[in-house]
Amino acid sequence: MSDFELRFRQIHLDFHTSEAIGGIGASFDPDEFADTLATARVDSVTCFARGHHGWLYYESEAFPERVHPHLERRDLLPAQISACHARGIRVPIYITVQWDHFTAEAHPQWLTVGPDGTLGRDGAASVYQPGFYRFLCVNSPYVEFLKAQTQEVLETMPVDGLFFDIVNARDCSCTHCRADMIAAGLDPADPAQRIAFGRDVIRRFTAEMTAFVREHNRECTIFYNSGHVGPRHRPWADAYTHWELESLPSGGWGYLHFPVTQHFARTLGKDCLGMTGKFHTSWGDFHSFKNRAALEFECFHMLALNAKCSIGDQLPPDGQICKHTYELIGSVYERVEAAEPFCRGARAASEIALLTTEEFHGSGHHSGLPAGPMGATRMLQELRHQFDTVDSAGDLLGYKLLILPDDVPVSAELAGKIEAFLAGGGKLLASYRSGLDEAGEDFALGALGVRLVGEAPFSPDFLVPGEKIGASLPTTEHVMYLRGLEVAPAEGAEVLATVNVPYFNRTWEHFCSHRHTPSAHRAGYPGVVRTEQAVYFTHPVFRQYHENAPRWCKVLVSDAIDLLLGEPLVRVDGPSTLLAMLNEQADERRCVLHLLHYVPERRGQAFDVIEDVLPLFDVRCSIRAERDIAAVRTAPEGQDLAFEKRDGRIVFTVPKIEGHRMVELAWA
Which has the closest alpha carbon to 538: 598, 496, 566?
A: 496
Contact 260, 369 (CB under 8 A): yes
- Tell me the fold of 9-93+139-320: TIM Barrel (3.20.20)
Which has the closest alpha carbon to 150: 81, 213, 241?
A: 213
Q: Cis peptide leading into 636, omega within 30 of 0?
A: yes
Confidence of residue 2 (pLDDT cuts 50, 70, 90): very low
Contact 370, 355 (CB under 8 A): no
Which residue(s) pair with 277 in the sheet? 312
Contact 207, 239 (CB under 8 A): yes
- Read off the amino acid at residue 235: P
Alpha carbon distance 42, 23 (integer Å): 27
pLDDT of residue 3: 56
pLDDT of residue 364: 56
pLDDT of residue 426: 98
User: Helix (H, G, I), strand (E, B), or coil: what is residue 239?
Assistant: helix
Report CA-CA distances (Å) from 530 to 360, 434, 470, 480, 536: 26, 15, 14, 19, 6
pLDDT of residue 361: 82
Contacts of residue 183, defined as CB under 8 A and 6 or more positions apart, other chains included, come to none
| Range 570-667: architecture per CATH | Sandwich (2.60)
Contact 410, 441 (CB under 8 A): no
Confidence of residue 66 (pLDDT cuts 50, 70, 90): very high
Contact 293, 335 (CB under 8 A): no
- Tell me the fold of 350-563: Rossmann fold (3.40.50)
Report CA-CA distances (Å) from 595 to 67, 271, 300, 654, 659: 48, 22, 9, 10, 8
Measured over the CA atoms of residue 582, residue 588, residue 590 and residue 594, the dihedral's sign is: negative
pLDDT (mean) for 26-33: 98
Alpha carbon distance 153, 69 (integer Å): 19
pLDDT of residue 601: 95
pLDDT (mean) for 18-30: 98
For residue 1, pLDDT over 90 is answered with: no
pLDDT of residue 124: 53
* Residues 570-619: tens digit of each pLDDT: 999 999 999 999 999 999 999 999 999 999 999 999 999 999 999 999 99
Contact 545, 375 (CB under 8 A): yes
pLDDT of residue 123: 61
Q: How many CA atoms lie within 13 A of 611 on its CB side?
A: 8
Alpha carbon distance 286, 270 (integer Å): 33
* Residues 210-230: tens digit of each pLDDT: 999 999 999 999 999 999 999
Confidence of residue 125 (pLDDT cuts 50, 70, 90): low
Domain ranges of the chain: 9-93+139-320, 350-563, 570-667
Confidence of residue 363 (pLDDT cuts 50, 70, 90): low
Looking at the chain, the number of H-run helices and the number of E-run strands are 14, 28
Neighbours of 466 (CB within 10 A): 19
pLDDT (mean) for 238-267: 96
pLDDT (mean) for 484-490: 97
pTM score: 0.95
User: Helix (H, G, I), strand (E, B), or coil: what is residue 235?
Assistant: helix
Contacts of residue 246, defined as CB under 8 A and 6 or more positions apart, other chains included, come to 225, 227, 228, 253, 275, 366
Strands 534-537, 427-431: pairing kind: parallel
Residues present in the chain in total = 668
Which has the closest alpha carbon to 350: 469, 263, 416?
A: 263
Alpha carbon distance 257, 9 (integer Å): 21
Contact 621, 593 (CB under 8 A): yes
Backbone φ, ψ for residue 599 (5° rounding): -115, 105
pLDDT of residue 129: 83
* Residues 365-415: tens digit of each pLDDT: 666 788 999 999 999 999 999 999 999 999 999 999 999 999 999 999 999
pLDDT (mean) for 416-441: 97
pLDDT of residue 545: 97
